Amino acid sequence: MFQKVLIANRGEIALRVLRACRELGIETVAVHSEVDAEALHVRLADEAVCIGPPDATQSYLNVPAILAAAEITGADAVHPGYGFLSENADFAQIVSDCGLTFIGPRPEDMSQWGEKVPARALAKRLGLPLMEGSQVIQDADDAVRQAEAVGFPVMLKASGGGGGRGMQIIRDAESMRKAYPRARAEAEASFKNGDLYCERYVEEPRHIEFQVLCDGAGKVWVLGERECSIQRRHQKILEEAPSVAMTEELRRDMTSTIERALRESGYRSAGTLEFLMDERGNLAFMEMNTRIQVEHPVTEEVTGVDLVMEQIRLAAGETPTLPDEPGMKGHAIELRINAEDPDTYVPWPGKITSYHPAGGPGIRIDDGVFAGWTVPRVYDSLIAKLIAVGPTRDIAIRRLRRAVDETIIDGIRTNLPLHRRILQDPDFVSGNLSTKFLERLAERRATG
Q: Look at residue 321 in the predicted model and tell me its pLDDT.
A: 81
Q: Look at residue 279 in the predicted model and tell me its pLDDT.
A: 87
Residue 240: is it exposed, middle or buried by C-beta count within 10 angstroms (0-12/13-18/19+)?
Answer: buried
Average pLDDT over residues 81-105: 97
Tell me which residues are annotated as active site: 291
Q: What percent of the chain has pLDDT over 90?
A: 88
Confidence at 162, pLDDT banded by 50, 70, 90: low
Q: Look at residue 132 in the predicted model and tell me its pLDDT.
A: 86
Q: Look at residue 134 in the predicted model and tell me its pLDDT.
A: 92
Which residues touch 447 (CB under 8 Å, ≥6 apart)?
Answer: none
Strands of 101-102's sheet in order across = 47-52, 27-33, 4-7, 77-79, 101-102
Query: What DSSP element (H or E) covers 147?
Result: helix 140-150
**Residue 371 scores a pLDDT above 90:** yes
Helix (H, G, I), strand (E, B) or coil at 419: helix
Average pLDDT over residues 39-60: 97
Average pLDDT over residues 145-158: 94
Q: What is the pTM of this model?
A: 0.91
Domain 132-200 has CATH 3.40.30.10: no
Domain ranges of the chain: 4-103, 132-200, 206-446
Q: Look at residue 381 in the predicted model and tell me its pLDDT.
A: 96
| Distance of alpha carbon 382 from alpha carbon 375, whole angstroms | 10
Model confidence pLDDT, tens digit, residues 269-279? 999 999 999 98
**Residue 161 scores a pLDDT above 80:** no
Confidence at 164, pLDDT banded by 50, 70, 90: low
**Four-residue CA torsion sign, 396, 401, 404, 405:** negative
| CATH code of the region 4-103 | 3.40.50.20
**Residue 191 scores a pLDDT above 90:** no
Confidence at 241, pLDDT banded by 50, 70, 90: very high
Average pLDDT over residues 149-174: 86
Q: Look at residue 163 in the predicted model and tell me its pLDDT.
A: 61
Please identify, in words, the CATH class of the domain defined by 206-446. Answer: alpha beta
Strands of 167-170's sheet in order across = 167-170, 154-158, 196-200
Q: End-to-end CA distance of the chain: give it in Å, rounded.
A: 58
